[in-house]
Structure 1
Amino acid sequence: MSDVAPVFSHARSAALELPGTQLTHPFGPAWDVWKIQGKVFALLTEEAGKPMAIVKSDPLIGESLRLEFPLITPGYHMNKKHWITLVDGLPPEVIRELVTESYRLVVAKLPRRLRPIDPETFGRRR
């Protein structure tokens, strides 16, 4: 997996800044799988040499994002309603925000005692 792909570097740096995250490789070295409390919130891989990040998204927001950004597509190898795929060419701030939003969505489903952050307020712009 290429470490120089912009989508990888921006997604990785965003994931590293999030409290309590863990990088795993359950599908082998070609897949970086980022988790919080054992739950996946981001996957990074390449398909046919094309770097991509797959993140969780609210279905309505994901649909809007796909209309606004043609480089955002339904989640590769994931539920197409709840996951989106990000590729090189997207603005770095969009990649970072979508990784953070994916994290918030997953944390919101955790029992309160296991949440490292408040998903309603963490990382939100004021």
Structure 2
Amino acid sequence: MDIETLRTYALQLPGVEETLPFGPDNLVFKVKGKMFLLLPLDTVPVQFNVKCNPDEAIELREQYPHSILPGYHMNKKHWNTVIVDGTLTTQQLLQFIHNSYHLVAGGKK
């Protein structure tokens, strides 16, 4: 999974805007003016931050301790950093973005 695939997926969701509020190396995707995905452009391997239900965030960190970490530079109760290292499937990675989008947008998963 590469950055462009993640970016393309996020941009196809309804009402999404792509911004660069933290400088040119971090894409921020928002819905209704609120961030749901932070995608650094300079990390190897690729990683991204997504919002998550607090209980689910902890469960995911326990299930994938090397690939899902507390959100880097984020509220660790509500955000996870997902490392794209081959452990998680493409479907799982996109589902994390989908869930984050719906959590922020206020819709159902």
TM bucket, shorter chain = 0.7 to 0.9
User: Normalising by the residue count of structure 2, what TM-score does the alignment of the two structures yield?
Assistant: 0.87
RMSD: 1.7
Task: Give the match for residue 113 of structure 1.
Answer: none
2:96 to 98, 108, 114: 98
User: Normalising by the residue count of structure 1, what TM-score does the alignment of the two structures yield?
Assistant: 0.76
Supply the distance in 1 between the matched residues of 2:93 and 2:12 (Cα, whole angstroms).
Answer: 14
Give the partner amino acid of 1:11.
Answer: L
Supply the distance in 1 between the matched residues of 2:2 and 2:78 (Cα, whole angstroms).
Answer: 20
Aligned length: 106
SS of residue in 2 equivalent to 1:97: helix
Task: Give the match for residue 8 of structure 2.
Answer: 13
Per-residue deviation, 1:46? 5.2
Per-residue deviation, 1:26? 0.7
SS of residue in 1 equivalent to 2:40: strand
2:29 to 11, 28, 34: 34
Q: Which runs of 5+ in 2 are unaligned?
A: none
8 Å contact kept, 2:54–2:78: yes
Give the partner amino acid of 1:16.
Answer: L
Per-residue deviation, 1:67? 1.3
Correspondences of 1:35-114 after superposition (within 5 Å)? 35-45=30-40, 49-70=44-65, 71-88=67-84, 89=86, 90-108=88-106
Supply the distance in 2 between the matched residues of 1:77 and 1:51 (Cα, whole angstroms).
Answer: 16
Give the partner amino acid of 1:106.
Answer: V
8 Å contact kept, 1:8–1:53: no
8 Å contact kept, 1:7–1:86: no
Supply the distance in 2 between the matched residues of 1:66 and 1:20 (Cα, whole angstroms).
Answer: 29
Percent pairwise identity: 40
Q: Which runs of 5+ in 1 are unaligned?
A: 1-5, 109-118
SS of residue in 1 equivalent to 2:62: helix
**Larger-gyration structure (1/2):** 1
Give the partner amino acid of 1:77.
Answer: H
